[in-house]
Structure 1
């Protein structure tokens, strides 16, 4: 069975989960605990970041490389078009999504959780003990601001990221106004990348993530609640309803993440 080393809230992991579901592949999620779990992952793969896909004795790192690997080894429901123009557009949009929505989405979400302690607590997995949720929710905003500066999330960086994301969402909304998918009449890797990476901007309405039900449909203020971008998020949620397997519909082995295991 395929195994996905992941973080439940990682949007790059979600991109791969959506791809796996789109292809109808059975897989087991293995949650990598930040810190010690990343050390274990490095011992296995030489890679500390998730997602990492294990297929037999092979370990494939990076969400784009995982997508390409799955398209080669499991060609049913291809991700990348054969038509040269569509193929080029698909690969270009997938890379853009990784670099723009992927990276700036983390910045925007950090800003949102810094300002709202209830939102911050809601992002913890449903299995998180209440005492830990209280500790996380009680972290002062000033402390989070200092922590953000330490990882490059200055007020100017946050403002720029949100402005760029507004332009991205406007562009995507326009592209989808008269087309069912981003590169044509069939879904491609571009659609799955954009949809999966956008979860940090606004979480899907369905039960796709191990997060409290109260967080569904919520997201970054100014993006998730902006009526101008509602057509994009409605498209994203329709794509999820069509291809993403809700947690309640996944087999017990494939639904809840297990802790990392060393072979």
Structure 2
């Protein structure tokens, strides 16, 4: 059969255009409005890195910057992703948007059973690990002076670090009562987190990922939302070096959870880009600019 040469050329140009569109789309500078220390933002950063997308981190100023964020997105919470004229708030909504717009490295399984399990584990990460780890972090800060000072920004003057370290744990516990961080609430969160991590460790005992043979939204949600329990031990976050690898006493330093944290370390090593290879870390909070 003889093929019309113009049809061949047209098909070749179409294929070339398709490839150029993909390259152009990947090259667009997405904007992530974030707090560097937010574990929900870390979930999104993991997904962006896995998909190989270039993005710019924009640190939102607590307070005034969140007013600007409300003007842009209709709400005050981070993360918010800006992709051209598209504005997407909430880490789960961002993940689903990225899957639709940039499907080349999928994070949501097509198999119905795997997809259902993926969503269930992501919900566990968002609503249980994410919420309870905030309480666990408070526990760690009240127990350990070193942990308390390590979480301060690297630009914090030494005298202020000394003041923070000198705050008695009993006083921190009293302050915690005012925001609902009673000893019973904190202990319940710690117990729940230990049970969750034990269960996840059993799921990961003989396989590399939680749901499928490749990472999914479930893996990135669990890895990102567990950040407060133990910070990643590597140059992935713009945080003081002393904070890397540190976490909640009794969990972060327990061999019981080695399987889980070793799995997370491997996930980071494979897919999370270090600071030098991704968007530049913010020099400090700045008020965002609304187009």
Q: How many Å apart are 1:137 and its aligned residue?
A: 3.4
Quote the residue 1:8 is aligned against: 36
1:225 counterpart SS class: coil
Q: Extract unaligned runs of 5+ from structure 1.
A: none
TM-score, normalised by the number of residues in structure 1: 0.94
Structure-to-structure mapping, 1:58-77, within 5 angstroms: 58-77=86-105
Quote the residue 1:106 is aligned against: 134
Which region of structure 1 is more displaced relative to structure 2, 135-144 or 7-16? Answer: 135-144
TM-score, normalised by the number of residues in structure 2: 0.85
2:231 counterpart SS class: coil
Quote the residue 2:288 is aligned against: 261
Distance 1:132 1:40 in 2: 30
Q: Deviations over 1:80-126 (max 9, x none)?
A: 00111111110111011111110001100011112223211211232
**In 2 relative to 1, CA 17–132 (structure 1 residues): closer, same or farther, beyond 3 Å?**
farther
**In 2 relative to 1, CA 137–41 (structure 1 residues): closer, same or farther, beyond 3 Å?**
farther
Distance 2:76 2:157 in 1: 26
Quote the residue 1:126 is aligned against: 154
Quote the residue 2:225 is aligned against: 197
Structure-to-structure mapping, 1:64-213, within 5 angstroms: 64-213=92-241
Rg comparison, structure with higher value: 2
Q: How many Å apart are 1:226 and its aligned residue?
A: 0.9
Q: Deviations over 1:181-237 (max 9, x none)?
A: 001211100001001111111111111111122222111011101101011100000
Q: Extract unaligned runs of 5+ from structure 2.
A: 1-28
Quote the residue 1:223 is aligned against: 251
How many pairs were matched up? Answer: 260
2:33 counterpart SS class: strand
Q: How many Å apart are 1:44 and its aligned residue?
A: 2.0
Distance 1:39 1:137 in 2: 32
